[in-house]
Amino acid sequence: MFGSVLIANRGEIAVRIIRTLRAMGVRPVAVYSDADRDARHVREADLAVRLPGGYLDVEGVVAAALQTGAEAIHPGYGFLAESGAFARRCAEAGLVFVGPPPEAIEAMGDKIRAKATVAAAGVPVVPGGAEPADDLAEAARAIGFPVLIKPSAGGGGKGMVLVRSDAELAEAIASARRTALAAFGDGTLLVERFVTDPRHIEIQVMADAHGNVVHLGERECSLQRRHQKIVEEAPSPLLDAATRARMGAAAVEAARSVGYVGAGTVEFIVQGSGWGADGSGGAAGPDGPPYHFMEMNTRLQVEHPVTEMVTGLDLVELQLRIAAGEPLPFGQDDVRLTGHAVEARVYAEDPARGFLPSGGRVLALREPAEGRAARVDSGLAEGTVVGGSYDPMLSKVVAWAPDRAGALRALDRALASTAILGVTTNIGFLRGLVARPEVAAGRLDTGLVERLLREEGPDGGLSGAPLPPDALVAAALLFHSRQGAEGGAEHGDPWDVADGWRIGGRAWTGYRLECQGDVIDVRVRGLVGDAEVDVNEHSHSVSLRRCGGNEIAVTLDGATLRYVVAWDEAARGGGVLWLGRDGLAWPVVRHELGDPGDRARSGGAADGVVRSPMPGTVLVIKAEVGDRVSAGQPLVVVEAMKMEHSVPAPVDGVVTELPVRIGQSVELDGVLARVEPDGSAP
């Protein structure tokens, strides 16, 4: 076994690999970019090396490995994990690449070549055609609409176009080719029959260098948004044992067909409806649901923990042992699937804003206690800065139970006990999603989440309620307490306590609080341990006590709830309060009553202030001071986490301020421009 391994990745996967390396007695070496200087994976490794050129700097990674005496490089997942050129460079430098041979990577990285290779091995593939052998338009008409146009290179749904009729075909091919060329440098395309109500089911395979190949069961990955997985589980609620065995055997043959070694995933598209009694299982015949090879990911998958939890195997340890030349320590008949596991991906994104990337500093962090029923793969720590340079995934929350219903309940409890303050996340959305009746019943397909978003609002009605009354009261009391402390109460002078005390009785103190665009007036009188709070002319008896650390308990009309709280002194001029409960988090801002910048008085967007919808970098400025613009006209383009967002003028008028420049970093709600609305001049 290796004495030292360099991890050519970051975030939660780097931390996860470090955990296995330590358990095996192998020294972990990390690399980091300037943006990740203080990241958790850097702190947890024995040694960390700065990469001036970033994580994709092949020569920098190889040099770091040689400099630190590492014998092998584990690429985690991502670009380097699927680069045949990187695998070859490692071999040239005398380093072991923890992954498959470069020839296998390249054979499966080209979708057209991969389909031809596995089809020759007897693996079912989706009917279609591919360039240059086929004319795409003729192939599409031959297999019948609807069809999918896909780039041969790349993945993640980029460049994929659904074509429903012959009239759409020419433009769809042109659009897909432009995207493929821009994203992958290769405009080669293929066309496939579009499977109605498709399910995405993948098979985990393991192969050693001694000719042994096994599969470790399947993962259901049908809950997706924009072709990106959100929730994954093992095993699939769709498959019976016989279908699992057939799909597993097909995956093994696909791996054998390219001389595969290491951990890999063979992805299948499976007909999700039109067979069985309700489309969620049962037998329509001896062969079960039809399935077709889609592609093979030649690396460890993000969702590998669910396979680990139902098999009891450590896939990273197996990867390392195989890379060191050891044979697999078990055969196919030894693989057992026990219970059910479900994983949810926690992203830095705001579902209420159309899932735009978010960011900020992690002010407070609570993650579920790990054990047999729960696991967290996380790259977070208090103080972590989540910026716009990398993928928005922060962590993965995984739950296990003897059955699927129990696993879904355990996942919901684990998400509810998670608190990430300082960064807006999708945890509320995840809780709402796993509670949907369609999900509970196993009636899944890759379009389910998008349908919910179309039919039930921008976040599918899944993100939870806005600031609840008890959280509003907690915020008011905390601002009230803070005002008292700043008035000198902590120095022991009772006359400086801001409790509204008067000879004739306590007076009310008013607060105007804003949360997620809603502005609410609240009045408080008394001390936080025994106070009255008035909201919308309804008075409540309340108290607040601190429970240690950053937890508080708020009692409202006799009912007590606990919150995790944190103050963000740097945002919006200081004094932004974050409250977290049940996996949800709310940032609350106090406005000074009568402040000219108070959005309750100015009318929000109608005042012509253009704010950034996400933290990021100014990419393009499309106007100048003095320009006349129309409502909806793009003014500034902001980029975050490889996503571009065009920010429009909110009103007709004249641009009076542009306080940003190209390349400048901006915060969420940072001012990008001001437009003087028509008719507003005196």
Q: What is the pLDDT of residue 574?
A: 60
Which residues are within 8 A (CB) of 268 and not within 5 positions of it... i.e. 6 or more apart? 200, 201, 202, 203, 247, 250, 251, 291, 292, 293, 294
Q: Can you tell me which residue has the tokens 């693996």?
A: 123
pTM for the model stands at 0.86
552-558, long-range: CB < 8 A, 24+ apart = 552/474, 552/478, 554/470, 554/473, 554/474, 554/477, 556/469, 556/470, 556/473
Topology, domain 128-193:
Dna Ligase; domain 1 (3.30.1490)
In this structure, are residues 325 and 530 in contact, taking their beta carbons and an 8 Å threshold? no
List the single range of 79-93, 364-378, 473-487 with lowest mean pLDDT: 473-487
Residues of the chain with CATH 3.30.470.20: 100-126+197-338, 342-464
Mean pLDDT across the chain = 88
Looking at residue 185, its pLDDT comes to 87
CB contact at 8 A, 129 and 139 = yes
Distance of CA 399 to the CA centre of its chain: 17
Which two structure tokens, joined as six digits, stand for 221?
């990955």
Closest alpha carbon to 647 in 639, 227, 655: 639
Question: Which amino acid appears at position 512 of this protein?
Answer: R
Per-residue pLDDT averaged across 522-540, rounded? Answer: 87
Looking at residue 102, what is its pLDDT?
Answer: 97
pLDDT at 529: 84
Q: What is the mean predicted confidence (pLDDT) over 494-508? A: 60
pLDDT value of position 459: 63
> Tell me, what's the pLDDT at 570?
77
pLDDT of residue 654: 94
User: Distance from CA of residue 606 to its chain's centroid?
Assistant: 33
List, in sequence order, every residue forming a beta bridge with 200; answer none if it has no partner: 269
For the domain made up of 469-591, give the CATH fold. Glycoprotein, Type 4 Pilin (3.30.700)
Confidence of residue 588 (pLDDT cuts 50, 70, 90): very high
Highest mean pLDDT among 51-65, 271-285, 507-521: 51-65
- CATH: 2.40.30.10, 2.40.50.100, 3.40.50.1980, 3.40.50.720. Which one for 604-677? 2.40.50.100
Give 321-371 pLDDT, tens digit per residue: 999 999 999 999 999 999 999 999 999 999 988 888 888 999 999 999 988
Give the pLDDT of residue 575. Answer: 77
Residues 115-154 have pLDDT tens digits of: 899 999 999 988 888 898 889 999 999 999 999 998 988 6
Report the share of the chain in percent with pLDDT over 70.
89
> What CA–CA distance (Å, rounded) separates 390 from 36?
10
Residue 79 gets the label, from left (phi > 0), alpha (psi -120 to 50) or beta, of: alpha
pLDDT band at 101 (very low <50, low <70, confident <90, very high): very high
Q: Please report the pLDDT score of residue 616 as a whole number.
A: 84
Q: Where in the chain is the domain with CATH 3.30.1490.20?
A: 128-193
Determine whether domain 4-98 maps to CATH 3.40.50.20: yes
> Tell me, what's the pLDDT at 642?
65
In 391-538, alpha helices (H): 404-416, 427-434, 437-440, 448-455, 469-486
> Which ranges in the chain are annotated with CATH 3.30.700.30?
469-591
**pLDDT tens per residue, range 591-619:** 875 554 444 433 445 578 998 888 888 98
Residues 520 and 523: their CA atoms lie apart, in Å, by: 10
**The CATH homologous superfamily of the domain defined by 342-464:** ATP-grasp fold, B domain (3.30.470.20)
Confidence of residue 682 (pLDDT cuts 50, 70, 90): very low
Tell me, what's the pLDDT at 597?
Answer: 46
| Omega before 132 within 30 of 0, i.e. cis | yes
At residue 587, the pLDDT reads 93
pLDDT (average), residues 29-51? 97
Report pLDDT for 285.
44
Q: What is the rounded average pLDDT of the residues 221-244?
A: 94
- What are 451-470's pLDDT values in tens digits? 998 887 666 556 656 788 88
We find that the CATH architecture of domain 100-126+197-338 is 2-Layer Sandwich (3.30)
Kindly state the average pLDDT of the residues 16-24. 98
The secondary structure of 569-588 as a DSSP string is SSGGGS-EEEEEETTEEEEE
Order the strands of the 4-7 sheet from edge to edge: 47-50, 27-32, 4-7, 72-74, 96-97
* CB 623 within 8 Å of CB 655: yes
pLDDT tens digit sequence for 533-580: 998 888 889 999 999 889 999 998 889 999 999 999 876 656 799 999
SS3 content of the chain, % helix, strand, coil (to 5): 30, 30, 40
Q: Which DSSP symbol is given to 494?
A: G
CA distance 357 to 349: 4
Does residue 471 register a pLDDT over 50?
yes
Strand partners, 428: none
Q: Look at residue 569 in the predicted model and tell me its pLDDT.
A: 84
